Structure 1
Amino acid sequence: MEKRRFVYALSLSIVVSFALVAIVSCIAAELHRTKTKDLRLDGKLCYLPESQAFRYGVAALACFVIAQVIGNVLFCTNCSLNSRGKKNNDQQPPRRSILAIILLVISWASFTVVILLLSAATSMSRQQQYGAGWLSGECYLVKSGVYIAAAILILVSTGSIVCSAVAVLRKSLQIDESRKTSTLPK
């Protein structure tokens, strides 16, 4: 059981580390995003150079997806361990499991919004040639605060997945403890 706690703590620290890298990358992307002064106009045609926000955005996306996947694997692994330890007469799911599921839904909702925000903003940070643009031949700039909003949502999503994983882990550890005490000779 101690080994399981150690592996779990290590895995959660990896999730948090990837999320922190994603947050820092979002902040760096916000600082390096293309500004209005970088926009060049030639009649109706426009040009925007590629900004470093593209690289930071890709890094944020990759790190955040990895953190979300690892966090969900931890959650699902412990859910399966809990379901094995459940007795058949338990009709009502425990309150902690409901909380964990609500937090998991919040995590996935935040994850979806972050992926949409970062994908669009990162795509806009690529070089936009004269006449090619980002969409329909027009140049688009990322509004200020988009990457910061993504960073905040990454924090919400990661916090939710970590809290739900910890809640499920605590429940599985309680099940393990109850099994040990019920199998001890009297």
Structure 2
Amino acid sequence: MGKGSRGVSCRSAICGIVALLSATAFACSVAAEFRKVKDKDVKLDGSLCSLPRSSAFELGVAAIAFLFVAQLVGTSAAVTTAYAAKPRKSAAARGRAAFVALLALSWLSFAVAVILLATAASMNHGQRYGRGWMDGDCYVARNGVFGAAAALVVVTALTTLGLTFATEPTAAMAPAPASPAAAPDACASRTHPEAAAADAEQPGGRSKQ
């Protein structure tokens, strides 16, 4: 019971950490959507353009950092649990396939979310005259880019949390089968003195006859 409760509490702690970090990354992504530079912020000087620095840059970088830590903690714990567990042969193939599918989906959504966040954040880093985002031209992140990244953060968090339930630490949850075997031994240890007492009384009874 001690090992099982310890495993459940450890899993709950990991899920709590992943959920908290993912929620923070989601909040930063949503906030960056409202703080990003807009088309009206573009300043022109002849053929040159510039864009001011926006707080969406810091929010995007923070979202990437929180999401990365959440992904690293969640997947590392899930892979460690998967290698430590010893599932039955009948359920091994199905469990392994589900685990690999969730792991691949988690890292795929993570990669796309990071690409969107990094690209949109770099556009909000500030673009000076003659030194735009690309080839001296100024670019503004489209509406919904940070929002799409926030949606992918949710997908990544859900799949990462699903990884913790795809594998069960059987070594920690399985009870020790010592109590059924101990009961017959205890009964046998009690019956032996009773049988010895009965054998001791039988010769006495025959002598009286």
| TM-score exceeds 0.5 | yes
State the distance in 2 between where 1:177 and 1:74 align: 17
1:64 aligns with 2:63: no
CA distance in 1, matches of 2:162, 2:91: 22
- Whether 1:6 aligns to 2:1 is no
- In the alignment, the residues of structure 2 paired with residue 134 and residue 94 of structure 1 have an alpha-carbon distance, to the nearest angstrom, of 49
Please state if 1:117 is matched with 2:120. Answer: no
SS of match in other structure, 1:41? strand
Measured against aligned partners, the alpha-carbon deviations of 1:122-149 in whole angstroms (never above 9, x if no partner) come to: 1111110000111111110000000000
Paired residues of 2:60 and 2:117 also in contact (CA < 8 A)? yes
Structure 1 residue 94: Cα displacement: 3.8
- Cα distance in structure 2, aligned partners of 1:161 and 1:74: 10
SS of residue in 2 equivalent to 1:162: helix
**Distance (Å, rounded) in 2 between the aligned partners of 1:2 and 1:145:** 43
Instruction: State the one-letter code of the partner of 1:138.
Output: D
Gaps of at least 5 residues in structure 1 are none
TM-score normalised per structure 2: 0.80
Structure 2: stretches of 5+ with no match in the other structure: 182-209
Q: Match of 1:80? A: 83
**In the alignment, residue 132 of structure 1 is paired with which amino acid?**
R
In the TM superposition, what whole-angstrom CA distance separates every residue of 1:61-117 from its partner, at most 9, and x where no partner exists? Answer: 1000000000011111101211xx357xx3872423321221111101101101111
Q: Which amino acid aligns with 1:77?
A: T
CA distance in 2, matches of 1:177, 1:71: 20
Paired residues, number: 178
What amino acid is aligned across from residue 121 of structure 2 in structure 1? T
User: Structure 1: how far apart are the matches of 2:124 and 2:141?
Assistant: 7
The Cα of 1:177 is off from its aligned counterpart by 4.0
Tell me, yes or no, if the aligned pair for 2:42 and 2:51 is still in contact at 8 Å: yes
C-alpha distance in 1 between matches for 2:69 and 2:52: 29
Aligned-partner Cα distance in 2 for 1:60–1:177: 36
